[in-house]
């Protein structure tokens, strides 16, 4: 009998150590055969403008709840062992890490799909907002239609 999957969500000001988090999931059980990880980071260019920094705002309470629900939805669709989401808030500079998603499982297929699903849902459902600093001042980032399309593709795939 294997241990139940552990789903972990952290929203924090501090940076994270992706390697350490990957190792923790990798070693959490010995029947793990695959660990998939995604790191999102700040680009210094957006919509043709140089971006020097950005500030990430969230909705304390709801953001954590929303991320937990996304992990639970992923768990209902795919067989994986553990899943972790770390998302930063506050002021970040170019090349700073923003988000980490790690999924471990017996084989790569389910872990890859779960990781992509988690990111697609995070981008369209979790209450975070980015405000960029450019040479011409500050601006709120607008939601992209392509992010909604990325999420829509999962609605055609039946759960496991």
Partner 1 sequence: MITVLYFARLREALGLSQEQIAVADGAMTVASLMQLLAARGAVWQQEFAGCRLVRAAVNQTLVADNATINAGDEVAFFPPVTGG
Residues near partner 1 (CB under 8 A): 40, 56-59, 61-62, 65-66, 87, 98-99, 119, 122-131, 140-143
For partner 1, give the closer residue by CB, 32 or 99: 99
Q: Which is nearer to partner 1, 26 or 139 (CB)?
A: 139
C-beta of residue 26 within 8 angstroms of C-beta of residue 32: yes
- We find the least distance from the C-beta atom of residue 160 to partner 1, in angstroms, to be 24
Q: Which is nearer to partner 1, 32 or 66 (CB)?
A: 66
Nearest residue (CB) to partner 1, 102 versus 122? 122
CB of 61 to partner 1, least distance (A): 6
Give the Å distances, CA to CA, from 56 to 17, 141, 152. 19, 10, 25
* Nearby residues of 61 by Cβ (< 8 Å), 6 or more positions away: none
Q: How far is the CB of 131 from partner 1 (least distance, A)?
A: 7
3-state secondary structure of 139: strand
Residue 20 DSSP SS3: helix
Q: Shortest gap between Cβ of 62 and partner 1 (angstroms)? A: 4
CA end-to-end span of the chain:
20
Q: How far is the CB of 155 from partner 1 (least distance, A)?
A: 16
> Which is nearest to 153 in space by CA: 102, 81, 77, 43?
77
* Nearest CB to partner 1, comparing residues 29 and 151: 151
């Amino acid at each position: 009998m294997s241990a139940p999957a552990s789903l972990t969500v952290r929203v924090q000001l501090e940076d994270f150590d992706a390697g350490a988090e990957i190792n923790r999931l990798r070693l959490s059980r010995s029947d793990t055969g695959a660990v998939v990880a995604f790191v999102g980071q700040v680009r210094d260019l957006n919509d043709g403008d140089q971006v020097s920094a950005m500030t990430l705002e969230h909705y304390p309470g709801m953001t954590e709840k929303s991320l937990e629900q996304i992990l639970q939805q992923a768990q209902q669709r795919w067989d994986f062992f553990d899943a972790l989401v770390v998302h930063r808030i506050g002021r970040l500079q170019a090349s700073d890490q923003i988000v980490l998603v790690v999924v471990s499982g017996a084989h790569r297929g389910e872990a890859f799909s779960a990781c992509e699903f988690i990111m697609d849902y995070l981008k369209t459902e979790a209450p975070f907002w980015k405000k960029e600093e450019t040479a011409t001042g500050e601006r709120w980032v607008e939601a992209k239609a392509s992010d909604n399309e990325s999420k829509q593709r999962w609605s055609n795939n039946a759960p496991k």
